[in-house]
Amino acid sequence: MRYRILGALQVLGQDGQPCAFERRHTRILAVLLLSPNQVVGRDYLIDAVWDETPPATAGRQLQNCISNLRQHLPGGGDWKHVIAAEPTGYRIHLDSGQLDAQVFEAGVAAARQQQATGHISDAATKLRDALALWQGPALAGMTGRAIEAGSARLNEQRLATLEDCLELELRQGRYHQMVGELIELVSAHPLRECMVGLLMRALHGSGRQSEALRAYDDLRKRLADQLGLDPSQQLQELHASILRNAIPIVASNSAPVPIGQTALRQLPAPVRHFVGRDAALDELDSLIAAAGQDAVMISVIHGTGGIGKTALAVRWAHRAAPRFPDGQLFVNLRGFDPTREPMTPGEAIRGFLDAFAIPADQIPVGVDAQASLYRTLLAERRMLIVLDNARHVDQVRPLLPGSSGCLVIVTSRNELTGLVAVEGAHPLTLDLLTAPEARHLLASHLGRARLDAEPSAVDELVARCARLPLALAIIAARAAAHPTFPLATFSAELADAQRRLDAVDGGDQFTQVRSVFSWSYQRLSTQAAHLFRLLGLHRGPDITVAAAANLAGLPFGQARQLLSDLARAHMVTEHMMGRYAFHDLLSAYATEQAQTYEAETERRAAVHRLLIYDVHAAAAADALLT
């Protein structure tokens, strides 16, 4: 049996399959695993499970939880020797290699020994091996003071180890290879001065002195604006040394390994709670056979916000990775991003060239020339390229390989019809989950027992979340954070149409359904956005082009074009020829926007026009039947 806490908590049985536990069990297990082979006090465990409001029977409930946890551990045996009762608490007994955090610490210690004896390259390799054990933030998704304190400690160890590893790699003169990774790290940790210092040195060593100075200036502004501080003395001295060009450049002890002899692995970790999508995964599998024939195979995964496009692309890419031995590339093109502008093709290509360790003096000037070099690097190679979160076709085309053998997955909220029409891309429309898949997603978060206790509430949650994966995941996370709340409580919140979007709010812009919808809405034309808002006033299951034209007071042809625009952006769905609809959460969002941005007189007039049209249409239909 193996335990993982460097990422989401997992217990793997002898068959390698993860085991499912109730929420209290996972909290107890997490706290015990944070202190392996050590006694954890009962009071500390009680605080970890119930935070500041333990019941009077907390001691007895804890004992029952420990007993139930032992019974649910894989193998069906007596696990009292694994989770042992002690006079003051409980201890989990682990052998060497069972817990990934212990394996990580052992790997770091081995690297330190190599470094102490002067074996810098071997030390860096061992640190990389240790860091590869991480699959995400420690105990990802778990809350509570004790758990958050332990996970923060582990996450800081990871960052410190990564900084040590990067320092050793810099000493070997691996400047070009490190720039791309360090840019991403600084973006994720913008106030971490050590990371910025490493980036400055890597840029300077790559012949990019002005960018190194700009990295320092950006940090200085962030520190001043957010904390009222100046950079550390050490970083100021580094800045001055770069200005004087007084930092020696270490020659790499080996030339960059040519592409094909080293495989880039840029895929992010797959989503833990991924369910269903079997047909889509099989459809993507069928593309592999076509890759490498007479053209580059491209698939465009498109669908509405929160539908799980990136999750599907990453899940399948990991599954297909062995079929692409020369590596996998991944880039977030930021087509729909709340804080940053879309990535230009030039930025994406330069990032790929850095990943391929192309020296700065060998990268040509101009995007077209750089794109040509990028295609040359991919020629005669079998690589998988994931272009995530694209906004438009022109953002994607320069990133396509020029020869067969590679497979490209593009995800977008837009249909990107141009790629299908011109490049022959394979379109894959991602729809809402089926009801069984939606229930499975809730069960993966909350456990089957909690769902079985309230079947009606579960059915209501599935329906009121519109079977949208993001909405279901948010509700599940809220329910997991309140294990004593009946699921009917959350279903009742969703029943109120005016509060529905408030109920699917995870607390940040990436887990607020309202915000996620807004990123698509804000990209609509003025006329398309106006029609979308008015559609929120319509209470039928769907609407025809003629009805929408009357609702908005538009000519039939213009209404049809605007509905097509909305469908291409996945803000509505043409579920039958000439009939359009959107799911309940998008309907709630449209209604909310109409109430905010349409005057009451316009809303009344639009509804009146629609009613007049419905009366005339009903009369015409009656005349045909009599």
More confident call, 256 vs 521: 521
Which residues lie below 8 Å from residue 432, measured CB to CB, with a gap of 6+?
A: 307, 466, 467, 468, 583
For residue 608, pLDDT over 50 is answered with yes
- Do 90 and 39 form a contact (C-beta atoms < 8 A)? yes
Strand order in the sheet with 89-92: 39-41, 89-92, 83-86
pLDDT of residue 290: 60
Tell me the average pLDDT of the chain: 87
CA dist., res. 546 & res. 621, Å (int): 14
The topology (CATH level 3) of 267-429 is: Rossmann fold (3.40.50)
Q: How confident is the model at residue 114 (pLDDT cuts 50, 70, 90)?
A: confident
pLDDT of 175: 84
Residue of higher predicted confidence among 443 and 247: 443
pLDDT tier at 119 (50, 70, 90 boundaries)? confident
- Per-residue confidence band for 11, with pLDDT thresholds at 50, 70 and 90: confident
The pLDDT assigned to 75 comes to 53
The two structure tokens encoding residue 599: 């005057």
Query: What is the predicted pLDDT for the residue at 282?
Result: 86
Let me know if the fold of 267-429 is the same as that of 524-625. no
Distance between CA 519 and CA 504 in Å, rounded?
A: 16
> Which residues make Cβ contacts (< 8 Å) with residue 248, sequence separation at least 6?
none
Residue-level pLDDT at 257? 39
Q: What is the pLDDT of residue 166?
A: 92
Measuring CA to CA, how many Å separate 67 from each of 13, 90, 370, 385?
A: 19, 12, 62, 48
Quick one: pLDDT band at residue 254, thresholds 50, 70, 90? very low
**Arithmetic mean of pLDDT, 347-360:** 86
User: For the chain, what are the domain ranges?
Assistant: 2-100, 105-112+143-243, 267-429, 435-513, 524-625
Least confident of 19-33, 114-128, 228-242, 284-298: 284-298
Superfamily of domain 105-112+143-243: Tetratricopeptide repeat domain (1.25.40.10)
DSSP 117: T
Give the residue-averaged pLDDT of 145-156. Answer: 91
As separate numbers, helices (DSSP H) first and strands (DSSP E) second, the chain gives 28, 14
pLDDT digits (tens, 9 = 90+) for 217-228: 999 999 999 999
Q: CA 551, CA 466: separation in Å to the nearest integer? A: 25
pLDDT at 260: 38
Residue 400's pLDDT is: 94
- Measured in residues, the chain has a length of 626
pLDDT of 78 higher than 60: no
User: What confidence score (pLDDT) does residue 557 get?
Assistant: 94
pLDDT higher than 70, residue 289:
no
Q: What is the 3-state secondary structure (H, E, C) of 190-227?
A: CCCHHHHHHHHHHHHHCCCHHHHHHHHHHHHHHHHHHH
CATH number listed for the domain at residues 2-100 = 1.10.10.10
Identify the CATH class of 524-625.
mainly alpha
Q: Can you tell me the distance from the alpha carbon of 36 to that of 59, in angstroms, rounded to the nearest whole number?
A: 22
Q: Which residues contact 42 (CB under 8 A, 6 or more apart)?
A: 59, 62, 88, 89, 90
